[in-house]
Chain A
């Protein structure tokens, strides 16, 4: 029996097509995934992300704890409310999960971790926290709604609690404000402006309906995937996992090697990988003709297999198929992809593919 978020009945009521997703019963679309995708690029859309887990970390030594736990350095967070994207690594450099961490106050940080990885994340974080006397508190009492698109903040702002509205509207990108149990970050997973709103579960259905009434389009996980793919944002479990390091997943920019004396988990393994060199490259691809790139399709440089697609799909904004892939360091710029036994040309591009409603690549 799949788990249900607090918005499950609301989705069904509003005509969503539901599918099993990582142990949850979630909306894949509300009719047309492509129209939902365009709504987010051009106006405003919303996503139920209640299945993701909010984890509060509290204690006097929470900052040194996170500097040990995470590959990115929370010391970059100087002012309360700022957020940071990071990987959490195994000692061998494999990615346990990717997450966002918010600096709320000196003895309180908040993380948002993936749904499917929640159990192993909590076990790992709890184990590591022991030496730091940090309390690890998953907030299963909180729901989360992502409101995304150029008009998202304007439409969602008036629906926030009165005492949070002004602070939320004044937020700079990648920062958050909180009041009571509500917590609003100017963050997202679409490449558009917007908010991610954490709120008491009991408030979530009314907030969802109020957003819909304000013209925010309900969107399913299908559009969430094509939006994040266009935005060049990795998906845990497809683009990286325990078997890959950030350095082979296009996430080297999230690893803070400086200052050199910070001993984060996985550091030694990553330094060894860097020193060895010739690491696989994580690249963006565009299919030149018609067809659809999908995860696990093989890539060839001439007759030599040089890697595979980690996630791919159809880009509604570009009207072309795009993908992320991991290939050998010496692979050429033009490769061939095997789609059902046919070899079709793909070319490498710098990601993101799309940001703030606009194509970032030459077609």
Chain B
């Protein structure tokens, strides 16, 4: 199984990705590997703007034809924007997990937490071992 794993992103074990933008805000989504495991997505429960999240906190739910799966906040911070497109078109994540399929953006309270996340190589290895 070979999934796309962009090298400019950071990753979590629970299959979220993080992109640090120039304005110091982080964009979060789920990986291509995760969407493939889930299958066709049919509903996304988005976090609310203004919510303060701790690293590892449950913050969204992605539901596929198969099952519901929690999305965990990779970092500590405040939700500043959510991808409203997903409310009507959850399949956007299946089609483009890393760009159009982003889930929310957050202002980081502790940017040094980024160092603890995986790089693309480590994540690719993790995703591989996750296959059964």
Contact = CB atoms under 8 A, between A and B. Distances in A.
A28 B43 contact: no
Interface size class for chain A? 10 to 19
Nearest to A313: B65
B65 A33 contact: yes
B63 interface: yes
Contacts of B66: 28, 33, 222
Interface in A1-57: 17, 28-29, 32-34
A34 B65 CA distance: 8
A33 B43 contact: no
Interface string B51-94: 00000000001010111100000000000000000010001001
Contacts of A313: 65
Nearest to A226: B65
A17 B40 CA distance: 13
Contacts, number: 40
Given A222-B66, A292-B63, A34 B43 contact: no
A291 B43 contact: yes
B24 interface: no
Contact of A222 (B39, B68, B87, B91): B39
B15 to A, nearest CB: 16
Given A32-B94, A340-B68, 8 more contacts: A17-B39, A28-B39, A34-B65, A226-B65, A294-B67, A294-B68, A314-B43, A321-B42
A294 B40 CA distance: 16
A290 interface: yes
Contacts of B39: 17, 28-29, 32-33, 222
Contacts of B45: 291, 340
Given A28-B66, A32-B40, A340 B87 contact: no
| Max count, chain A CB within 10 A of own CB: residue among B63, B67, B68, B87 | B63
B68 A292 contact: yes
Nearest to B90: A290
14 contacts: A17-B39, A28-B66, A29-B39, A32-B94, A33-B40, A33-B66, A222-B65, A222-B66, A226-B65, A292-B42, A292-B68, A314-B42, A314-B65, A340-B61
Interface string B18-42: 0000000000000000000001101
A230 to B, nearest CB: 12
Nearest to B61: A340
**Nearest 9 CB-CB pairings of A with B:** A314-B42, A34-B40, A292-B63, A33-B65, A292-B43, A33-B40, A33-B39, A32-B40, A291-B43
